[in-house]
């Protein structure tokens, strides 16, 4: 059941394990803010890209990630299980960002 998740890895990236916000607060920018915050933390730790895994059936979330510049790098098929709400494919989505001067770790 976990193998398709483990197969999706972007070496050297800061991995965002998941984001979510309460339903009544969706669509007002919190998800975008959370990802911007993750990017700040990644840059501070000298990473130059973020990665996350999304279900392809989670169309709203995938649209948000694409709008923020994430690209699908790989996919794997979900193993059907009662523990997993979506079927279909898992997408490894990655966004590389420009390195900011002065923050690199030697
Ligand atoms: C995905 C999620 C974190 C986005 O957070 P958000 O605060 O709603 O996102 P923002 O307000 O910054 O951006 C809005 C975009 O989020 C996406 N979105 C996904 N689900 C949404 C929902 N139920 N309501 C509104 N927007 C949603 C859409 O792409 C939307 O853009 P649109 O206006 O073009 O449709 C949030 O909808 C959520 O908690 N969903 C349930 C958990 C989940 O699916 N997490 C992602 C796991 S990979």
Confidence of residue 105 (pLDDT cuts 50, 70, 90): very low
Does 25 have pLDDT greater than 50?
yes
Domain boundaries of the chain, sorted by first residue: 3-96
Residue 84 Cβ < 6 Å to ligand 1: no
Between CA 96 and CA 1 the distance in angstroms is 29
pLDDT at res. 98: 74
Residue 58 Cβ < 6 Å to ligand 1: yes
pTM for this structure? 0.91
pLDDT at res. 106: 41
pLDDT at res. 99: 62
- Counting residues of the chain whose pLDDT is more than 70, the rounded percentage is 92
pLDDT digits (tens, 9 = 90+) for 47-88: 999 999 999 999 999 999 999 999 999 999 999 888 888 889
Q: In what order do the strands lie in the sheet with 14-16?
A: 14-16, 49-55, 89-96, 71-77
Please state the atom number of ligand 1 nearest to the C-alpha of residue 53.
48
Write down the CATH superfamily of domain 3-96: Gcn5-related N-acetyltransferase (GNAT) (3.40.630.30)
If DSSP codes are grouped into helix, strand and coil, which group holds residue 33?
helix
Q: What spacing in Å lies between the alpha carbon of 29 and ligand 1's midpoint?
A: 8
């Amino acid at each position: 059941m976990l193998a398709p998740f483990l197969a999706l890895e972007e070496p050297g990236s800061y991995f965002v394990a998941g984001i979510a916000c309460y339903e009544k607060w969706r669509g007002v920018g919190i998800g975008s803010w959370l990802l911007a915050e993750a990017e700040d933390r990644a840059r501070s730790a000298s990473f130059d890209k973020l990665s996350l895994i999304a279900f392809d059936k989670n169309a709203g979330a995938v649209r948000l990630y694409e709008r923020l510049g994430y690209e699908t790098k790989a996919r794997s098929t979900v193993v059907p299980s009662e523990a997993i709400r979506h079927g279909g494919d898992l997408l490894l989505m990655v966004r590389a960002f420009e390195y900011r001067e002065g923050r690199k770790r030697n």
